[in-house]
Amino acid sequence: MNIFNGLEKIVESNYRLAHQGWYGLGGPADYFVRPETVDQLKEVVKRCEENGIRIYVMGYGSNVLISDEGLRGAVIKLEAEEFTQTQFDGEQLTAWSGAGLNDLTLTCVRKGLSGIEALSGIPGTIGGAVRMNAGGSFGDIGTVVDSVTVMDYQGRVFERSRPELMFDYRSSNITAKFILNAKLNLTTAEPEQVMQTLKEVWIYKKNSQPLNTRNCGCIFKNPRGVSAGALIDRAGLKGLQIGGAVVSDKHANFIVAREVCKSRDVIRLIEVVRQRVKERFDVELEREIEIWD
């Protein structure tokens, strides 16, 4: 029996996930689902729960490494129009989970609204950015989040607001599987001033990160008070290669996938880097990238 009977329009079986991740790596998923409405999302989640199917939620795939063997489960991507809409009400922005960060930062610049320009150059969606409190040296998104609307495994939709919401370095206390949308409190500013900040962030990233390569951003979180990239560099690991995966010469906290790379190469290199940094500095590096297997 087809567990997604009646939903064939939005469900693909044995879907090759390498098309979706920024690494361009990974095997197929049993199911790849692109709901068009919240009601369809609820129905998909219900059927997965009833049939014991594991659920993965994908944004842009910019912070995910998928195993070569693929995934036994359903990957749900919220990219339909209902999940990418945005609404501005004065200085408050409501952005749905599938809205892209880069397009949104530019829209805010044009409207003279400041608050998320520090996210320039981060290839992600609002949903993923809020869950992991995306950001960098110039700031993070958690500082402007006022509330989030989420959905749990039972299809219940509810809102969580400050002060109940908590954001920390690359993390939040949001545990619900699905973030549907987020309300952001922005501030009015001169468009030229906001654009200048955005350009400064972009130039900094262009000069310090291997942007024109196959990578998934920073591999490790920065330990308190120190840069993970600096530790990896000081351990002499720039250029270290396993299979088709190599530690970037430009930024040591990036692992670049070359033409013959497999996911297993990246995973092995991650572990070697962790071990070497531990041996040299007695520091345990924590992964920022998600590995799905």
Give the pLDDT of the chain (293 residues) as one tens digit per residue: 589 999 999 999 999 999 898 999 999 999 999 999 999 999 999 999 999 999 999 999 989 999 999 999 999 999 999 999 999 999 999 999 999 999 999 999 999 999 999 898 888 999 999 999 998 878 899 999 999 999 998 899 999 999 999 999 999 999 999 999 999 999 999 999 989 988 998 898 889 999 889 999 999 999 998 999 999 999 999 999 999 999 999 999 999 999 999 999 999 999 999 999 999 999 999 999 999 99
CA 115 centroid distance within chain = 19
Question: Are 188 and 117 contained in the same domain?
Answer: yes
Residue 1 lies in a domain: no
Residue 3 lies in a domain: no
End-of-domain residue from the set 18, 46, 81: 81
Cross-strand pairs, 92: 89, 185
Question: Are 70 and 91 contained in the same domain?
Answer: no
Could you tell me the CATH number of the domain that includes residue 30? 3.30.43.10
Nearest of 66, 39, 293 to residue 180 by alpha carbon: 39
CB contact set of 84 (below 8 Å; sequence gap of 6+): 78, 96, 98, 99, 100
Residue 287 lies in a domain: yes
End-of-domain residue from the set 207, 233, 258: 207
Question: Are 109 and 184 contained in the same domain?
Answer: yes
Strands (E), the chain: 11-16, 28-33, 55-58, 64-66, 71-77, 86-89, 92-96, 113-114, 135-136, 139-140, 145-151, 157-161, 167-168, 171-172, 178-185, 187-188, 241-242, 245-247, 255-257, 290-292
Question: Are 147 and 96 contained in the same domain?
Answer: yes
Question: Are 185 and 262 contained in the same domain?
Answer: no
One-letter identity of residue 280: R
Question: Are 71 and 106 contained in the same domain?
Answer: no
Question: Are 76 and 99 contained in the same domain?
Answer: no
Could you tell me the CATH number of the domain that includes residue 271? 3.90.78.10
The token duo for 34 is: 């692109």
Q: Residue 79 gets which letter from DSSP?
A: -
8 Å CB contact between 243 and 268 = yes
Going from the C-alpha of 120 to that of each of 124, 246, 261, 278, the distances in angstroms are 10, 26, 28, 32
Could you tell me the CATH number of the domain that includes residue 101? 3.30.465.10
How many whole angstroms separate alpha carbon 38 and alpha carbon 153?
A: 13
User: Whole domain around residue 41: which residue ranges?
Assistant: 8-81
Model-level pTM?
Answer: 0.94
8 Å CB contact between 254 and 217 = yes
End-of-domain residue from the set 55, 81, 107: 81
Q: How many independent structural domains does the chain possess?
A: 3
The position carrying tokens 């036994």 is 72
